[in-house]
Amino acid sequence: MKISIGCDEAAYELKEAIKKRLEETGHTYVDNGVEAGESALYPDVAVKTCEKVTSGECDRGILVCGTGIGMAMTANKVPGIRAAVCHDPFSTERSILSNDGNVMCMGARVVAPQLALYLLDIWMGLEFKDGPSTEKVERITYYEKQFSK
């Protein structure tokens, strides 16, 4: 899979650890910043990262900041994005299996690096399949289009 990844200055080290794990597991990525010592408004990084997902350049996105919350809120403003804050195994799993999530958000001040990498492995290993949740995901898309007018 090709992943679009971005962070703010609070999560630079976690982003680098995630990139390393992606490489180790055979995935590629596009790094949308920030770089070491840089500062950026996280909404700008989130939108840039998500645009690569919605354009089809990347399969999924990963956003990391202090809590993951601001990144998720911003990401979900981009039409076609279904971002979820993933801080535990069950929610991480359900973000894909129940909600066809395409952007994972984590907080570097909330999850330890080892847990973040474990959650990443879970998330990367899952795929949404048609089933009981399909109609619900379609309804999310319906409302997204209704409110994007």
Residues known to be catalytic:
65
| Tokens, residue 96 | 């894909």
74 Rama sector, left if φ>0, alpha if ψ -120 to 50, beta otherwise: alpha
Strand ranges (E), 40-136: 60-65, 83-85, 103-107
- Say if residues 63 and 7 touch (Cβ distance below 8 Å): yes
